[in-house]
Structure 1
């Protein structure tokens, strides 16, 4: 913990923004993200818990990624026209040292985000960090990591990205990565993702920290990377893009005796046309696992909510650890499927058989909604063995109506022929809404002012918040009862058109 003087500015009961000369930070009762604000390693970030998961008393004030007191060991690389460019300021330490960087032109706390902007030739790169609700826990214990690359050139350029994170769980740098039914304990590359997240934890019986990264999430507009490399940190620190991959190589760095885990997510280069934009997102923070300690310790993960009209399969992952002191024979996991759902992947009961002492296994199930209706549903998991006592746990899955923003529209006369259209967008839901866009269709006789852009994007609208948009229009016609259309586009609801009748009292 660094000792520089801090000024605390409270933006909400959930999120606190902290400013200091050397770091910019966001903090709530669950997690904290620090961004390096020094001349070197500018823009690099680290994540740690504050009070963590209330059900896990050992995870208070524990790192989820390294870099204290000033983040430096995790970094992001953009591959621009085949040239690796490390995001942020010049590196002062091993991670990405002596690499090409752009110029940091701005870094600031903006609302409930920390934004860093870098210019490299005609490419503008922006990193935005924001705390968002975890789909597994429904509280803000995840950091959304957003990168936007914008091509300001008149020529096309190819742009790819690699996000490298130096993961760490409390004092444990050797916990395996768990992706679907895979437990990754040595160097591996994954290109297909059976579930929407990866987890890492040291124990189900008495975990220190359970961390989770999102691979795919339509609500947060997170799309999977083309591949993810799980490698020792030293290899990724030294190689800013490609590296020499050896399947099964230990996480222990050369010449050392302790494992040092890290991962790198790659989004392959695509061509970005003039004025084109590419958005890359992931999220990292606390894992949402329902735990039941015992001789057969159980964990169960699933989204806490699912849109009732979404027919996509829902991934459920069951974890079992033999904590009983001797081997478990005839080990079986059984999933109780709630009414309105059918099992489309996996089988129940699922036979594991022999489970050695301290061994952990995980099993993936996928449930297909079949008119489940709105409301809570209970998913129950049971483990049995011929040599150890049985154990069970359960988790709630709620089917809900998709969140939808609302709006209010008004018009203000600026001069004889100029008017301002004002639209206030409200998000009353408990979730952040991302990538909304609004535009107008004007009545006959009216045009947008020469300086005005019709498309008004909202990159992020926080839960229980509002944002105001405006358009300046002009025309010689009297608006009277003329109608204009507000066009709203949002991934969660599609595209909708709203007609508004405008009546002006103009002398």
Structure 2
């Protein structure tokens, strides 16, 4: 056991045992609000998230039953986290400022990093442990769940995902780093293996040097736990940079770690091996209202092993998409378990016609010392269907060959379908549209053979249509399983005009090209008015309230209006309406309204159209000097009404009196 954890483990175990005992004596289960851990588990693995004030939101992974063919990996850790996760942590980089995801922590991993505001404590929702935190304008949600392992085909892998949404009004630069404190059972310093490289010391990769996955295990002969981090393919977002080092380096350096060539995985400042990995997605600009997702997998690796003097292990995807340009990797590990040096060592692969190999069949290794492990990788694409059987053979001079057979399922890729539904018929009812706003809907389906990942749909309104206030153009669907469909919906409003106005809906995913469909809304002719309505003020003889409204003028942005009263009228007050509120701020008059003669001039401008079918411009209070509450003599005249481009907007001014 690691000394840095031993004391914490013992003291908390005693405390937690006491808590359980008390709960048992009281005859009640601990409620969700009181749980220190939020957990999802199955017969293969368990994922769990810290739900205490010290490290809330940090996660870990344990093996439960693990590999069905072996018993020695049962109940072993994959990410250190017993009894409470804290060593693996995630760093948010916002505009160059670093924050720890989740709550504060009193221990070494990211200690002292600023934290934000919790908006969702850990809870199980839709099959994932969901936790959300806010950092100023940035809302970050963590999803920890269980998915099928890419090389095992079994639900033995943790999906670690983050969605970052800019809730503000300005761009923000946003980056993310995830530190995984890997632990393979009792082994805390097993080498990492990626492509043809065995990683025993500090190592960093970026760009094309990052392979689709890495694995970690100690020995092919008796690998208690085989871990795999998957970095590319499907919904996964390949990190910009990947770091392998000791845990202490990542614990003390929350963003860009300093790697030292040749340094082994001995924990900085201590004396024990403690390997860890960090995935970094560089900072990128995130527009207002936009979202950004980062997804990676970590779980059990599927390695088929054949033992002998030469022990051979082979890993490959359990299933691949056929008929695409996607490239996949077969990785072979060869270990010399004999007492002497193995010479003329080679690895060869045999693949069926349904797979197209992109490398030479044979890999010459040369000599292999006792206990030494070497590895080789082959890249392929799939062109057939059904199941492909591959055979990898390890051979050395004067040694029996060792052979591993592995099967790969070939499946059709996802295929998106799109049906744009007819919008409802819009009618004119008492001078207004009905229904309003108008619903625009489409059905996105997956008619292919595999899951569509990072699926989205987007509305592109044509001239005469705008998104309703508060709406966003893009809908994030995420994973869409084969044979399933989802209804997407937007609310739109008129931006002016009569007759047919078209719109387009687009949809796409990681695996497909974007497809689109279109339809149109028929807008009826409506009265386009600036309506001034006077009403006597109760218990105030001679006082009148005049409401001035824009009716069916969603494109209006500049207005100059003169309201003329009889000579017996004086101005009391003017109140600005919704037309004069933009982005949460109240706008100023171009000039302060005053009574000049017997007329009031109201002038205002905004940079954007209101987008509303009905909007109040102003409310005016006047008084008849002679008293009395008879009809108020009033006439309105539009001096100027423009849209944001400066184009005149046709309108009729209407004045009317109403009884209280």
TM-score by length of 1: 0.85
The secondary structure found in structure 2 opposite 1:26 is strand
CA distance in 1, matches of 2:237, 2:477: 16
Asked if the contact 2:324/2:381 (under 8 Å) is kept, the reply is no
From the superposition, tell whether residues 162 and 392 of structure 1 become closer, same or farther in structure 2 (CA, over 3 Å).
Answer: same
Residue 355 (structure 1) aligned to one of 365, 368, 374: 368
CA distance in 2, matches of 1:226, 1:448: 35
From the superposition, tell whether residues 58 and 424 of structure 1 become closer, same or farther in structure 2 (CA, over 3 Å).
Answer: farther
Asked if the contact 2:148/2:156 (under 8 Å) is kept, the reply is yes
Per-residue deviation, 1:472: 4.6
Asked if the contact 2:414/2:451 (under 8 Å) is kept, the reply is no
Higher alpha-carbon deviation: 465-474 or 347-356: 465-474
Residue 288 (structure 1) aligned to one of 295, 302, 305: 302
Per-residue deviation, 1:227: 2.1
- 1:51-450 matches, cutoff 5 A: 51-107=65-121, 108-191=123-206, 192-193=208-209, 195-217=211-233, 219-223=234-238, 225-254=239-268, 256-345=270-359, 347-369=360-382, 372-404=383-415, 417-418=434-435, 420=439, 432-439=451-458
The one of the two structures with greater contact order (alpha-carbon pairs below 8 A, sep at least 6) is 1
From the superposition, tell whether residues 445 and 158 of structure 1 become closer, same or farther in structure 2 (CA, over 3 Å).
Answer: closer
From the superposition, tell whether residues 118 and 401 of structure 1 become closer, same or farther in structure 2 (CA, over 3 Å).
Answer: same
Asked if the contact 1:133/1:432 (under 8 Å) is kept, the reply is no
CA distance in 1, matches of 2:175, 2:124: 26
From the superposition, tell whether residues 431 and 68 of structure 1 become closer, same or farther in structure 2 (CA, over 3 Å).
Answer: farther
Structure 2 stretches of 5 or more lacking a match? 1-12, 21-31, 428-433, 522-660
Asked if the contact 1:234/1:253 (under 8 Å) is kept, the reply is yes
Structure 1 stretches of 5 or more lacking a match? 6-17, 503-507
CA distance in 2, matches of 1:214, 1:334: 25
Aligned to 1:15: none
Higher alpha-carbon deviation: 296-305 or 69-78: 296-305
Higher alpha-carbon deviation: 307-316 or 407-416: 407-416
Per-residue deviation, 1:492: 1.9
From the superposition, tell whether residues 315 and 19 of structure 1 become closer, same or farther in structure 2 (CA, over 3 Å).
Answer: farther
From the superposition, tell whether residues 172 and 396 of structure 1 become closer, same or farther in structure 2 (CA, over 3 Å).
Answer: same
Per-residue deviation, 1:196: 0.5
CA distance in 2, matches of 1:406, 1:136: 29
From the superposition, tell whether residues 342 and 308 of structure 1 become closer, same or farther in structure 2 (CA, over 3 Å).
Answer: closer
CA distance in 2, matches of 1:226, 1:317: 23
The secondary structure found in structure 1 opposite 2:204 is strand
Asked if the contact 2:357/2:380 (under 8 Å) is kept, the reply is yes
From the superposition, tell whether residues 78 and 379 of structure 1 become closer, same or farther in structure 2 (CA, over 3 Å).
Answer: same
Per-residue deviation, 1:71: 0.8
CA distance in 1, matches of 2:447, 2:49: 30
**For the aligned residues, what is the CA RMSD?**
3.3
Asked if the contact 1:378/1:397 (under 8 Å) is kept, the reply is yes
Residues 143-198 of structure 1: per-residue CA shift (max 9 Å, x gap) = 22112222333333322221111100011112100011111112222224363000
Aligned to 1:495: 514
The secondary structure found in structure 2 opposite 1:60 is coil
Higher alpha-carbon deviation: 162-171 or 443-452: 443-452
Higher alpha-carbon deviation: 468-477 or 159-168: 468-477
Residues 288-335 of structure 1: per-residue CA shift (max 9 Å, x gap) = 222222221111122222322212432221111112343322221111
Asked if the contact 2:196/2:376 (under 8 Å) is kept, the reply is yes
Asked if the contact 1:19/1:25 (under 8 Å) is kept, the reply is no
From the superposition, tell whether residues 267 and 68 of structure 1 become closer, same or farther in structure 2 (CA, over 3 Å).
Answer: same
CA distance in 1, matches of 2:367, 2:350: 22
Residues 438-471 of structure 1: per-residue CA shift (max 9 Å, x gap) = 2457899987655554532213446786654334
CA distance in 1, matches of 2:508, 2:412: 17
The secondary structure found in structure 2 opposite 1:237 is helix
